[in-house]
Amino acid sequence: MNKNLDEVMHTVLKEYSFFGYVAHKMNKQASTDIKTSGHKITNGNITLYFNEQVLKTNSPIQNLLMIVHEISHIVLMHPLRRDGRENNLWMIACDMAVNTMFPEMKNYCKDYIFPGTFNILGSTVFLEEGKEAEWYYNKLSE
């Protein structure tokens, strides 16, 4: 495994033991085809993908939150709950649901999407924090 990822996984296990345990069961794979990190479920096997360059340039807390973010999608079963919904909008809704679980993400993960006030197709929409992905999806698709 990648040295930087080993360090992040150790921190995940120490800081978020439940997520660390889940991550321990996942396959891990470096990929330059992914912007930061991602996950995939194939035949019941879960793979956590990460961009090595991002691990090298992020701060330790950013790496910790990035990996916990991806693990959260698996724990919350987001890939299995898509249920025919439009993929890009579903991914945004899932990210909003996950990112509000970890308040420190707002301080360290500036590129992540969070609920709030949006202008969508000329209408102002307010999305509150702490909702599930389906709620965000429904609001975003109204």
Strand partners, 118: 125
Cα gap 25→47, rounded to integer Å: 9
pLDDT score for 120:
67
Rounded to an integer, what is the distance from CA 3 to the centroid of its chain? 21
In this structure, are residues 38 and 78 in contact, taking their beta carbons and an 8 Å threshold?
Answer: no
Cα gap 115→41, rounded to integer Å: 27
What average pLDDT does the chain have? 90
pLDDT score for 53:
92
DSSP sequence for 26-49: SEEEE-SSSSSEEEEEETTEEEEE
Average pLDDT rounded to a whole number, residues 11-40? 92
pTM summary value: 0.88
pLDDT for 82-98, tens place per residue?
999 999 999 999 999 99
Tell me: pLDDT of 32 over 60: yes
20 pLDDT band (50/70/90 cuts)?
Answer: very high
Is pLDDT larger for residue 42 or for residue 3? 42
> Strand pairing of 45-50 and 27-30?
parallel
